[in-house]
Chain A
């Protein structure tokens, strides 16, 4: 599997590690109740289809990426930098 890092170009999967669903990229509001926090951390849709995931380019530029991937066909539909700014 190859992932197109926006900074480094297409790279072998070995250079990356995966964290999980991209929902992790935005924390619940401070003061949200425990159930909200727990759902955010633990509940996931098990989609047969497109999924947005967080990947870390650990063996490369150390950028965190949002990768949109189809879990059935394995096609990668988009890769973007987490927290991207104009300078990226």
Chain B
């Protein structure tokens, strides 16, 4: 219900909204929770396990009950959701409706659904698990539902930097920020709420002679004027190493159309220092049916009255174990509500609430009213009992300093018996100090001072001179309390509202031997819901301590881990959505190739053309087979810019290359190209490629597309770690040069026609600087196809133009473009290798290339390549395989002796590459076979169980076509 003349909502702007289809009205400044309360809605959800009707428990971030779905977003805390005109929200975890939820049958089955019930049930009969139990549990489990659609809204991540990060804009935080900013520090101030002030927004109290919320607003303005970056609606979610903090900003509330703005932003803040001013969170007292709608935290009840001008009903009571709860009774009475009783469990408590019925030494033993609180039962000294009619009850078991971030790096908080709460341990997070209620200072004046002192301290650590500012006048009440965790009695009393864990569950865990807090947590699931046990951890721990006969420090505490509040994956992973996951690398012929109809294949980050379909071709095989024949019979042009190209220059470049390649590169003559193998230090093959010597001091290395980055990293390491005094330097030039392969019997004519001067007798494995239309280019006579082949490189800006020119000449001779599919077939026919064969577990010996390891010099990997196990006769060695019949061989299939059963014990090897060879009209494959070099001609069985392949094949030389290489050397 709404209270006339109370709260700071804007009654001039009524906002219409819908909850579960029912239309209601609220005001500007309302949260969804306060608007629902104002509209008289008491039940906002159903509990997780027992599906009990639930109302709002808190006024903020720690809310466990009021989780709603807005649009496609589930699990939005109604207490944090700003109301706007047209908001549509639905309740969760109920079917068919909030008012009539069939799953409430679970509440009747409660005796069977206690702690750890799932460890004791759903086990028999075993075959029922997959068919019945698991689907059933899956349907029943979870809070809220995902839409299954990608989000329409945009999310973002961002980076921010500052000298001082102040976490929380309550009294302590505002003073810390002011002090540091005045000293010249660059400050970022974050707060979860839309407005600064922390608890001041909920209380009736003055600071510096003005209402607390006005003082806070004024301070925020002043801070902005000092250059402080004030970030409202921003929750700092985690503390990480070296002063890094994660923070989640609600830029646009759920359900609001964002325009171009992001819905949320996940910030990574690098701060040289931080002050944690996160205040404290109230905790409840457990008693029978304390989860009825209308029972809430006392501090929340008065927040609803003071800040939003709403109440759960006209008749309210307050039940607490401390002085602070009295403020709720005082404020409710001042607002015109009927305060039926202020119940304080301490017999010697003094009434601080004024003229309200005061019941010291009494306790509330039961809340009555399943669909909404109607009455409470009480027990008093001397065994007396009473029942009172109420619509709302505020409960306070004390306040827990919000220490969460202080334990994100492994430190554990310390028990303060006076406060009956945990406070941060010293220096828990390097560079972060704690001020105010977050470290147990509970009065406003104490918080103002503490925040200012920490600000001075932080500024000093930053090398700035700060001085204590004038502290505004404020109240400073001590929080006197006496611990009370649970009221004894029958019935179920709730500890963890979100995961439906009761006092009975905690005690049961202890009695079954789960007496450590880590076990109790996992056995009962207390503290494991999305609220991370903010209102239940300490109560549960205290009950566990009692049940196991220990004190609280002896029982310990679980560690908090980031994030402090749930963070949507959309926010944390923003920038990684869809194609944004990785950069796209496009060659200079990419657009032209796509225009020619070529499907593109992803090769790492690059896009490469698969094939170039011609009129009448309907399958990739048709195009691929044609392209292979074209290269073998006339000429083909292929885009090969994506291969890594590394320039290595210097007087000692050759010596350096001798170290990284197995063979000797320092003896390579100018104008020549040599195939090279690079090993890892463990003797396995890292990559292969060519080395071209362009001049005495200039070498150009190529790498495979896949390994370009890895090789560059490796060469940088070798140069900096092993050869820092050697006269050479290296740099990647992959991007600068566009490069094309021209291959086939007619290749020379195609290339020569474009050169300004004919190439003359460029030998096989030769290289030369040339010009094309006056542009400096490089020509290599190398072949990956096995045909007469060249590669021509021009600066990338001319790439497309050169490709067009080459294509024009090739097509005029009956040839054309070819793509990766044909490239792969051509090289398989020739037994040339890719990373399908050099997959990280093969050695030069396996490939039959052990003679490429030059005996007279050291190289990376040489020592360990000679280990007996790496040169053993039964190693899997590279072989070719010919397959007869119609079935295609498959990469990944395994090899078995003819007649042997295809099981792991009989495994002889595996297939790495396979293709239909148009040249040989034959299925071909490459693979590795135990002692393969000695088994030429042997008939084997090739089996792939997953894809149902079982064919015979013959072991052959890896080079299936033109074994002497005459076609490319001639």
- Cross-interface CB contact of A38 among B242, B724, B864, cutoff 8 Å: B864
Bound: A85/B721 CA distance, A = 12
Bound: A74/B410 CA distance, A = 11
Residue of B nearest to A25 (CB): B721
CB <8 Å contact, B858 and A30 = yes
Q: Which residues of B contact A74 (CB under 8 A)?
A: 241-242, 409
What 1/0 flags go to B210-242 for Cβ under 8 Å of A?
000000000000000000000000000000111
- Cross-interface CB contact of A32 among B241, B409, B863, B867, cutoff 8 Å: B863
CB <8 Å contact, A83 and B721 = yes
Q: Which residues of A contact B159 (CB under 8 A)?
A: 12
CB <8 Å contact, B866 and A34 = yes
Q: Which residues of B contact A28 (CB under 8 A)?
A: 863
- Cross-interface CB contact of A19 among B430, B717, B722, cutoff 8 Å: B717
Minimal beta-carbon separation of A63 from chain B (angstroms):
7
What 1/0 flags go to B237-268 for Cβ under 8 Å of A?
00011111000000000000000000000001
CB <8 Å contact, B268 and A17 = no
CB <8 Å contact, B866 and A41 = no
Segment 48-75 of A: residues with Cβ below 8 Å from B:
54, 56, 58, 62-64, 73-75
Bound: A53/B815 CA distance, A = 54
How many interface contacts (CB-CB < 8 Å) are there between A and B? 64
Determine whether B106 belongs to the interface, using a CB cutoff of 8 Å to chain A: no
Q: What is the interface of chain B mostly: helix, strand, loop, or mixed? A: mixed
Given A12-B270, A37-B863, A41-B681, A64-B720 contact (CB < 8 Å): yes
Determine whether B682 belongs to the interface, using a CB cutoff of 8 Å to chain A: yes
Determine whether A24 belongs to the interface, using a CB cutoff of 8 Å to chain B: yes
Bound: A82/B722 CA distance, A = 9
Q: Which residues of B contact A63 (CB under 8 A)?
A: 720
Bound: A26/B723 CA distance, A = 11
Minimal beta-carbon separation of B84 from chain A (angstroms):
36
Minimal beta-carbon separation of B309 from chain A (angstroms):
46
CB <8 Å contact, B270 and A41 = no
Determine whether B945 belongs to the interface, using a CB cutoff of 8 Å to chain A: no
CB <8 Å contact, B864 and A41 = yes
Residue of B nearest to A4 (CB): B242
Bound: A58/B708 CA distance, A = 13
Minimal beta-carbon separation of B427 from chain A (angstroms):
11
Determine whether B698 belongs to the interface, using a CB cutoff of 8 Å to chain A: no
CB <8 Å contact, B713 and A56 = yes
What 1/0 flags go to B805-843 for Cβ under 8 Å of A?
000000000000000000000000000000000000000
Q: Which residues of A contact B430 (CB under 8 A)?
A: 73, 75
Minimal beta-carbon separation of B69 from chain A (angstroms):
34
CB <8 Å contact, B240 and A56 = no
Determine whether B590 belongs to the interface, using a CB cutoff of 8 Å to chain A: no
Determine whether B101 belongs to the interface, using a CB cutoff of 8 Å to chain A: no
Determine whether B652 belongs to the interface, using a CB cutoff of 8 Å to chain A: no
Q: Which residues of A contact B409 (CB under 8 A)?
A: 74
Determine whether A43 belongs to the interface, using a CB cutoff of 8 Å to chain B: no
Q: Which residues of A contact B670 (CB under 8 A)?
A: none
Bound: A74/B431 CA distance, A = 13
Q: Which residues of B contact A64 (CB under 8 A)?
A: 716-717, 720-721
Q: Which residues of A contact B866 (CB under 8 A)?
A: 34
Segment 1-35 of A: residues with Cβ below 8 Å from B:
1-2, 10, 12, 17, 19, 24-28, 30, 32, 34
Q: Which residues of B contact A26 (CB under 8 A)?
A: 721
What 1/0 flags go to B275-289 for Cβ under 8 Å of A?
000000000000000
Q: Which residues of B contact A12 (CB under 8 A)?
A: 159, 244, 268, 270
Bound: A26/B244 CA distance, A = 33
Segment 499-547 of B: residues with Cβ below 8 Å from A:
none
Given A75-B430, A82-B721, A34-B242 contact (CB < 8 Å): no
Residue of B nearest to A40 (CB): B681
CB <8 Å contact, A17 and B864 = no
CB <8 Å contact, B721 and A2 = no
Bound: A41/B861 CA distance, A = 11
CB <8 Å contact, A2 and B724 = no
CB <8 Å contact, B863 and A17 = no
Bound: A10/B378 CA distance, A = 61
Bound: A73/B429 CA distance, A = 10
- Cross-interface CB contact of A1 among B244, B858, B864, cutoff 8 Å: B244
Q: Which residues of A contact B681 (CB under 8 A)?
A: 41
CB <8 Å contact, A34 and B713 = no
CB <8 Å contact, B713 and A58 = yes
Bound: A74/B864 CA distance, A = 34
Given A1-B240, A1-B244, A12-B268, A34-B721 contact (CB < 8 Å): no
CB <8 Å contact, A34 and B716 = no
Q: Which residues of A contact B241 (CB under 8 A)?
A: 1-2, 74
Q: Which of A10, A54, A83 has the most CB of B within 10 A?
A: A83
Q: Which residues of A contact B243 (CB under 8 A)?
A: 2
Bound: A42/B376 CA distance, A = 69
CB <8 Å contact, B270 and A2 = yes
CB <8 Å contact, B863 and A34 = yes
CB <8 Å contact, B720 and A38 = no
Q: Which of B268, B681, B713, B721 has the most CB of A within 10 A?
A: B721
Bound: A61/B692 CA distance, A = 27
- Cross-interface CB contact of B864 among A25, A37, A83, A84, cutoff 8 Å: A37
Bound: A30/B859 CA distance, A = 10
Minimal beta-carbon separation of B868 from chain A (angstroms):
9
CB <8 Å contact, A2 and B716 = no
CB <8 Å contact, A62 and B864 = no
CB <8 Å contact, A82 and B720 = yes
CB <8 Å contact, B242 and A83 = no
Minimal beta-carbon separation of A2 from chain B (angstroms):
4
Minimal beta-carbon separation of A75 from chain B (angstroms):
7
Q: Which residues of B contact A24 (CB under 8 A)?
A: 721
Bound: A58/B709 CA distance, A = 10
Bound: A71/B858 CA distance, A = 35
Minimal beta-carbon separation of A49 from chain B (angstroms):
15
Q: Which of A10, A84, A85 has the most CB of B within 10 A?
A: A10
CB <8 Å contact, A2 and B864 = no
Minimal beta-carbon separation of B655 from chain A (angstroms):
14
Bound: A58/B712 CA distance, A = 10
Minimal beta-carbon separation of A22 from chain B (angstroms):
10
Given A1-B241, A1-B244, A74-B409, A83-B863 contact (CB < 8 Å): no
Residue of A nearest to B272 (CB): A10
Q: Which residues of B contact A10 (CB under 8 A)?
A: 242, 270
Q: Which residues of A contact B242 (CB under 8 A)?
A: 1-2, 10, 74, 76
Q: Which residues of A contact B682 (CB under 8 A)?
A: 41
Residue of B nearest to A88 (CB): B724
Segment 630-650 of B: residues with Cβ below 8 Å from A:
none
- Cross-interface CB contact of B722 among A27, A62, A76, cutoff 8 Å: A27
Bound: A31/B722 CA distance, A = 16
Bound: A54/B714 CA distance, A = 12
Bound: A30/B858 CA distance, A = 7
Q: Which residues of B contact A27 (CB under 8 A)?
A: 722
Q: Which residues of B contact A30 (CB under 8 A)?
A: 858
Q: Which residues of B contact A56 (CB under 8 A)?
A: 713, 716-717
Bound: A4/B98 CA distance, A = 55
Bound: A28/B724 CA distance, A = 17
Bound: A60/B725 CA distance, A = 23
Minimal beta-carbon separation of B683 from chain A (angstroms):
9
Closest 5 CB pairs of A and B: A83-B724, A2-B242, A1-B241, A37-B863, A74-B241
> 20 A-B residue contacts at CB 8 Å?
A1-B240, A2-B241, A2-B242, A2-B243, A2-B244, A2-B270, A25-B721, A34-B864, A37-B864, A38-B867, A41-B681, A54-B721, A56-B713, A56-B717, A64-B716, A64-B720, A74-B241, A75-B430, A81-B720, A82-B720
Residues of A bordering B, CB below 8 Å: 1-2, 10, 12, 17, 19, 24-28, 30, 32, 34, 37-38, 41, 54, 56, 58, 62-64, 73-76, 81-85
If A2-B244, A84-B724 are given as contacts, then 14 extra A-B residue pairs at C-beta distance below 8 Å, sorted by A number, are A12-B270, A25-B721, A27-B722, A30-B858, A34-B867, A37-B863, A41-B682, A56-B713, A56-B717, A64-B716, A74-B242, A74-B409, A82-B724, A85-B724
